[in-house]
A and B are shown apart, each in its own frame.
Chain A
Amino acid sequence: MSSIIEIKDVSKAFGGVIANQSISVNVAEGGITGLIGPNGSGKTTLFNSVVGHHPIDEGSIKFEGAEISKLKVPQIARLGLLRTFQQTRIYSKMNCVQNMQISIPHRNSGLLDMFRGHSPETSDRALELLEFVGLYSKRNLIAGDLSFGQQKLLEFAMALMNEPKVLLLDEPTAGINPTLINGLIDRLKLANEQFGVTLFVIEHNMRVIMNLADHIYCLAHGELLAEGKPDDIQNDQRVVDAYLGAH
């Protein structure tokens, strides 16, 4: 499998804090890649670097073979590389359908497209995806009034609406009711298989990530600690130590 994202020797420091130190990660096209590591190990920072949220200090980030480390956030998003936020973000004063409608891909939209009406296809797709994540009955509610877990599901549906090539998910199951987690895993897999979206997932829940990912990277203290198949990672002594805080 070829790599759709190639992160090479990326470093990022905030003042004295080195959040990422010479990290290299490859995200395989069409697969589900996992990113794990203890709190503060630099996972979100790496996502932020990839999507152009902040400039990186060193290294290179390529998407479909082209360097993107100098591009701005909306430009990268329009290339089809999308992220969801660890602190879930939705448009809180708009209703769920509107949240979905404006999440269409903006890849080819010209100046005059802003004056277009809402197409029936867009509305249909919006409802379809709301149904897909189980929010259909809440579709007319103001998104800010949804529970935290529901907002996470909405954010996921919005991301799918955008038809990304790669989706970076920052802890998709955090705050989700354990009984719903299996359903969410199924939906993530479905999105990957049916819609062909490559996934790159940060996750603390070991059971989830082992079940979901086909390749896993583990960070600790801003450095890449280990990488490999889920089984290898699970049995890697360094990873076990890092999670027990013995590193």
Chain B
Amino acid sequence: MSVSQKTFLLYAFILLGGILAPFVFPNYIAQFATLWLMILFALTWDMMGGQMGYNSLGNIIFFGVGMYASAVVQIARLYEVAEYTSHSGAPKVDFGWTEYLSGMGFGIIAGALAAIFIAVILGRIVFGLRGPYFAIGTLGAAIAAGELVGAWDYIGGGGGITSLPFPGTGDERSLFFYFALFALALLTFAFLKWLYSRRYVLAVNAIRDDEDKAEAMGIHTLRYKTVTWAMSASFLGMAGAVYGNMAGFIEPLEVAFPTITFGIFMVLMALLGGKGTLWGPVLGAVVFHIIKEFTWTHFLGWQWVALGMLIIINVAYFQQGILGWAQEKWPDFFGLTVDESDTREAVEEASK
């Protein structure tokens, strides 16, 4: 079987598995839906931390910004926002599929745009920072974002907002959001697969390896950094928009800007699978999610200890991640070879 056939089979398997999973394991729909979200998280984090070497601890901001922007847009089409958010509990609403879906469509677009906007602004401020300073700067920004939104009453403040009610049944609802997140994760993966075959990836890798050198070679470093963050943010913004509707209730600290859960998970998953690769974050997200679900079910009370151990082992003994380890073990498979021929003629000779 050729390599391309194997790849094709792999994609077919994932696609089919993704489509069938909610029907084969209906009790685990929520977990599967979260898994796709986790994959999206890991992939978008890796664009910054893995490929470009900018370890952002604040990417969760874009998730939250997307969620709120989407909620406000959806509500504003039907109500006065301030009046809607000042209601405790769900206000009486009455509308069907068309309104819901079109609202969500606008919401997703608004979520992406708002996230891009914030990424560009924030980038102007923090892209002067490097290494650990960038990490701490973005972490600070994420914490501040949650607190700021909590203090903003127009969008519900600390009390949160109830999302618009889903027009279908409970089962339809689970399926709908499962497939929405599945589609978003696929979209993200497909986009990155394409993107990482472009000139772009070499430039951001160059920034990761030696930004001063990249500047000295004339690369538009700030442009690449800004575009990278904006692209990463746009997917997170869309994910936030969908997740806000799925959660049913939006609140700043736990749902929209969960810095120490989702915000840290995205980093951990990429590191676990192998940062700076396309498949590493995907692999990391799957392994992490399984470990997490397992410990949360079987070691309740100890789950954070288990998670802490995982972080320590990963960072202290397994920095290269699963894929990086494989690359060291089978370098030939990844094409890291010395070619004995010294000139191009010799290679042409040999290939005759």
Q: Are B199 and A137 in contact (CB under 8 A)?
A: no
Stretch at the interface among A14-22, A70-78, A191-199, A200-208: A70-78
Is residue B336 contacting chain A, with contact meaning CB distance below 8 A? yes
Q: Are B339 and A117 in contact (CB under 8 A)?
A: no
Q: Are A82 and B195 in contact (CB under 8 A)?
A: no
A88 closest partner in B (C-beta)? B213
Is residue A67 contacting chain B, with contact meaning CB distance below 8 A? no
Is residue B209 contacting chain A, with contact meaning CB distance below 8 A? yes
Q: How far is the CA of A158 from the CA of B199 in the complex (A)?
A: 16
| B280 vs chain A, min Cβ distance (A) | 14
| A46 vs chain B, min Cβ distance (A) | 16
Is residue B73 contacting chain A, with contact meaning CB distance below 8 A? no
Q: Given A89-B210, A94-B205 in contact, is the A51-B216 Cβ separation under 8 Å?
A: yes
Of the candidates A111, A140, A162, which one forms a contact with B337 in the assembled complex, judged by CB atoms under 8 Å apart? A140
Q: Given A85-B213, A89-B213, A140-B338 in contact, is the A115-B218 Cβ separation under 8 Å?
A: no
Taking CB atoms, residues of chain B closer than 8 Å to A103 are: 217
Q: Are A117 and B199 in contact (CB under 8 A)?
A: yes
Taking CB atoms, residues of chain A closer than 8 Å to B210 are: 89-92
Chain A contacts with B in 111-164, Cβ cutoff 8 A: 111, 113-118, 127-128, 131, 134, 136-142, 158, 162
Interface size class of B (residues with CB under 8 A): 35 or more
Q: How far is the CA of A139 from the CA of B347 in the complex (A)?
A: 12
A168 closest partner in B (C-beta)? B216
Taking CB atoms, residues of chain B closer than 8 Å to A138 are: 338
Q: Are B213 and A74 in contact (CB under 8 A)?
A: no
Q: Are A109 and B220 in contact (CB under 8 A)?
A: yes
Q: Given A93-B209, A115-B195, A131-B343 in contact, is the A162-B202 Cβ separation under 8 Å?
A: no
B347 closest partner in A (C-beta)? A136
Taking CB atoms, residues of chain A closer than 8 Å to B195 are: 115
A139 closest partner in B (C-beta)? B339
Q: Are A114 and B199 in contact (CB under 8 A)?
A: yes
Q: Are B205 and A162 in contact (CB under 8 A)?
A: no
Q: Are B343 and A113 in contact (CB under 8 A)?
A: no
Q: Are A93 and B205 in contact (CB under 8 A)?
A: yes
Stretch at the interface among B7-15, B91-99, B221-229: B221-229
Is residue A105 contacting chain B, with contact meaning CB distance below 8 A? yes
Of the candidates B200, B206, B216, B344, which one forms a contact with A136 in the assembled complex, judged by CB atoms under 8 Å apart? B344
Q: Are B219 and A106 in contact (CB under 8 A)?
A: yes
Q: Are A94 and B338 in contact (CB under 8 A)?
A: no
Q: Are A74 and B221 in contact (CB under 8 A)?
A: yes
Is residue A95 contacting chain B, with contact meaning CB distance below 8 A? yes
Q: Are B342 and A102 in contact (CB under 8 A)?
A: no
Is residue A26 contacting chain B, with contact meaning CB distance below 8 A? no
Is residue B212 contacting chain A, with contact meaning CB distance below 8 A? yes
Q: Are A114 and B203 in contact (CB under 8 A)?
A: yes
A98 closest partner in B (C-beta)? B202
Is residue B335 contacting chain A, with contact meaning CB distance below 8 A? yes
Q: Given A91-B213, A137-B340 in contact, is the A117-B197 Cβ separation under 8 Å?
A: yes
| A136 vs chain B, min Cβ distance (A) | 6
Tell me the B residues contacting A by CB distance below 8 Å: 195, 197-200, 202-203, 205-206, 208-210, 212-221, 223-224, 227, 276, 335-344
Some 18 contacts from A to B, beta carbons below 8 A apart, are: A73-B216, A74-B221, A77-B215, A77-B216, A82-B217, A89-B216, A113-B199, A114-B199, A114-B223, A114-B224, A115-B198, A115-B200, A128-B344, A136-B341, A137-B341, A137-B342, A138-B338, A139-B339
Query: Closest 3 CB pairs between A and B?
Result: A77-B218, A102-B202, A91-B209
Contacts A74-B218, A94-B205, A140-B339 supplied; 19 other A-B pairs, CB < 8 Å:
A51-B216, A74-B219, A74-B221, A82-B217, A82-B218, A83-B216, A90-B213, A91-B206, A92-B209, A101-B199, A101-B202, A106-B218, A114-B198, A131-B344, A136-B344, A137-B341, A139-B339, A140-B338, A141-B338
